[in-house]
Amino acid sequence: MMDAGRHPRIELLVNSEVDDITGFVGNYRATVRRRAEYVDAGECTSCGDCEDVCPVVVPDEYQQGLSSRRAIYLPFPQAVPSSYYLDAENCLGFNPIACGKCKEVCDKKCIDFDVRDTILDLEVGSVIVATGMEPWDPRPYDEYGYTRFDNVVTAMEFERLICAGGPSEGELVRLSDRRVPERVGFIQCVGSRSPNRGVPYCSNICCMATIKQTLQIAEHYPDSQQKVFYIDIRSFGKGFEDMYRRSREEGVDYIRGLPGSVERDPQTGELVVEVENTLSGRREQHRLDMLVLATALVPRKFSRNGDGKRSIDEILSLSHTSDGFVMEAHPKLKPVDAPTRGVYFAGCVESPKDIKESVTQAGAAAMRAGNLLGAGQVRIEAITAELVADLCAECKICAAVCPFNAIVEANKKTGLLPDFIEAACAGCGTCAAECPFDAIVMRHFEDAQITAQIDGILADNPMEKIVAFACNWCSYAGGDNAGTSRLQYPPAIRLIRTMCSGRVDQRFIWHAFEQGAPMVLVSGCHFSDCHYIDAVTWTQRRVEKVWTQMEKLGIRPERLQLEWISAAEGQKFARVMRELDEMLRSVTDEEVAETVKILGKKKLSEPKKVLGPAAAVNVASDAGATVSPPPA
Amino acid sequence: MSANKTFYCLRCQHRFPVAHDPKQVAERSCPKCGSNSVRLETPAAVAAKQEGD
């Protein structure tokens, strides 16, 4: 961190918030709000005179609240920049100045209460998101006594207690009486791997953190007894198993089983831990002086900035996996890339990881950003959206639905046509599917190409076929997976590949039914796997709309099926196809003929005509998109 | 605001309650058959279904 602070080509903007980021790969414009720094970091020599006279005492967040700090303080010994920081929320010297003692004693005159926030407008080529994670709150796990007993602490609190720079200067003491604990216990997976009460995933680092802490205790207090309660120890990684072995050799007792209760003996003050040892099958009772909870790591909640504007994940259109961490563009091939080009991830914002992994990922992200900037140009997707200006009604639905913000209103005042940024377009086709006027052409996946495939499929024996739209990344790959796994499924299915299920225009579905399709399937990625951020949500909205319309027209909605199948779910793909084949048998010739007759009159597969701006506003409200009406 | 609404499965016809927020689009699946073809049950949908029966 010190190196980064001193580097001539790195500018650290501490105490700052990103208000907005616009633009596209290689051409981002970031608006950064730099919070007022009342201490001039360039002048401050960290002498500490200001801290000595400050009358305000508040809990020290860095020390996990185990010690206190003043309203003007050095955040932590290695802080960069190494200058004092004035906590404006707790300082008494504001509006009007009621205290001002720190200012009086500062020889360098580097404290100024009149400083205000500044807004910086930065042009950047790429963005790296490294907003980290936070520890899980263990208070719901009251059986471990965290809220009831002083000597039950979290791993983070323990880390401060045993650190030389901590509140006890490295002396491990229990909080109830400041005595060195002779018997220390650790409970693993507190909150982790607990879908009902905590989080379902493994937090990755807790096992090794506990092993490290047992070794620290063993080194400093050789006579201590240590017990670790665990489900299983996950010590994968270079040298990790060796550390685990050393910990056991130091006499640390590893007990497989999570405690059912922790109570305090009122006579002795000891913590009494009840646990079923699943290796011996016996119920055991352990008496301890201190208990450490290895809590889970959870995604940092992206907070909205001070003015109630958008949070950073909204600004950058970051999507999240089901566990709440941000989702990478591809788990194997683009593990540090966000789906939005030019945006990268580093550290625990992507998943819980240790220092080594974080450093590796940060290096990779920096390299990716460096490659992008060094190249000076970007290669854009061949499959992008193109506007047909003559057909556009300026309804702005396309801009509202684009997951990548690749479509912007060219000029809000004059209501000119939307501007398509090809470099930002990822080619999902949601805009083309949502455009009611067919004013957007999706290169390589044009309407005519897809309808021709539908016509081809249904040209012969339509009653024996199911028209299935499958997204390139998940469902189509799921079909591949089923094939390579040699899973059997009926031959009725006919796949039409689109890059994203968001490309499946409702007119394609109507066209298939018009042409005599007994059944249609729309299939895409699970929401948490969508390669186009949230394009898949538009698929669901659209299919729900078609179901409603089918019902109104007297067509059974069951004939249109929706399914989310990932690339790894070959078995699900085969099972769904078997189930649809069963359903296909329930559709009669008469039913299909009736459908063709109904739809022949309605002409739902044809685009709407451009009727002028007023009509466009109505269309926009139908689609549920929030758009403002174009000017008259 | 999410409230419990009844959804029904277009694959197995199973009806089940789900916390539903009309402003949020969430991935849904039938707890019985696992199908994603699940639909919010509206009065119109019930009427149409009864007519079909």
> Using one digit for the tens of pLDDT, what is the confidence trace for A317-376?
888 888 889 999 888 889 999 999 999 999 999 999 999 999 999 999 999 999 999 998
Same domain, A448 and A416: yes
Q: What is the pLDDT of residues A507-555, one digit of tens each?
A: 999 999 999 999 999 999 999 888 898 999 999 999 999 999 999 999 9
What counts of helices (H) and strands (E) characterise chain A?
Answer: 17, 27
Phi, psi (rounded to 5 degrees) for A561:
-115, 150
- Residue A228 placed within a domain: yes
A437, A608 in Cβ contact below 8 A?
yes
Question: Is 90 exceeded by the pLDDT of residue A408?
Answer: no
CA-based nearest residue in chain A for residue B42: A548
Residue A242 lies in a domain: yes
At A628 the pLDDT is 42
In CATH, what number is assigned to the domain containing residue B17?
2.20.28.10
Distance of alpha carbon A194 from alpha carbon A201, whole angstroms: 8
A535 and A397 within one domain: yes
Point out the residues of chain B with pLDDT beneath 70. 1-2, 43-53
Out of A548, A551, A561, the one facing B37 most closely (by C-beta) is A561
Domain boundary residue, one of A90, A116, A142: A116
* Residue A623 is assigned to a structural domain of this protein: no
> Is residue A183 domain-resident?
yes
Q: A309-314: which pairs have CB atoms within 8 A and are 24 or more residues apart?
A: A309/A19, A309/A20, A310/A20, A312/A18, A312/A129, A312/A131
**Nearest-neighbour CA in chain A from B29: distance (Å):** 9
For residues A399 and A462, state if they share a domain: yes
Q: How far is CA A355 from CA A217, A333, A352, A465, in A?
A: 21, 22, 10, 54
Tell whether A413 is covered by a domain.
Answer: yes
Confidence of residue A97 (pLDDT cuts 50, 70, 90): confident
Q: Give chain A's domain count.
A: 4
% of chain A residues with pLDDT over 70? 93
Q: Could you tell me if A424 and A528 lie in one domain?
A: yes
Is A528 within 8 Å of B36 when comparing Cβ atoms? no
The CATH number for A222's domain is 3.50.50.60
Angle between helices B43-52 and A535-553 (to 10 degrees): 50
Boundary of a domain, candidates A116, A143, A178: A116
Range of the structural domain that residue A502 is part of: 385-602
**How many domains would you assign to chain B?**
1
Which of B29, B35, B48 is the closest to A551 by Cβ? B48
> Quick one: pLDDT at residue A620?
45
- CB–CB of A377/A423 below 8 Å? no
Looking at residue A619, its pLDDT comes to: 46
Question: Can you tell me the ipTM of this complex?
Answer: 0.87
Q: Do B11 and A528 touch (CB under 8 A)?
A: no
CA distance A96 to A119: 25
Beta carbons of A418 and A409 less than 8 angstroms apart: yes
Same domain, A50 and A13: no
Residues A294 and A311 in one domain: no
**Considering chain A, what is the average pLDDT of its residues?**
90
Of the residues A282, A298, A314, which one is the last residue of a structural domain? A298
Task: Please state, in angstroms and rounded to a whole number, the distance separating the CA atoms of residues A496 and A487.
Answer: 20
Would you list which residues of chain B are within 8 Å, Cβ to Cβ, of chain A? 10-11, 25-27, 29, 33-37, 39-40, 44-45, 48, 52
pLDDT at A388 over 50: yes
Output DSSP code: residue A326: B
CB A171 within 8 Å of CB A216: no
Chain A hits for B29, CB-CB cut-off 8 Å, are 564
* A232 has a pLDDT exceeding 80: yes
**Do A585 and A462 belong together in one domain?**
yes
Q: Does A544 touch chain B (CB under 8 A)?
A: yes
State the CB neighbour count (10 A cutoff) for residue B41. Answer: 16
Residues 6+ positions from A309 with CB-CB distance below 8 Å? A19, A20
Chain B residues touching A583 at Cβ < 8 A:
11
In a domain, A267, yes or no: yes
Examine residue A426 and state whether it is found in any structural domain, yes or no.
Answer: yes
pLDDT digits (tens, 9 = 90+) for A102-115: 999 999 999 999 89
Confidence band, pLDDT 50/70/90 cuts, at residue A95: low
Range of the domain at B19: 3-52
- Provide, as residue numbers in chain A, all residues whose Cβ is less than 8 Å from the Cβ of B52: 556
Q: What is the pLDDT of residues A1-51, one digit of tens each?
A: 888 888 999 999 999 999 999 899 999 999 999 999 899 988 999 999 999
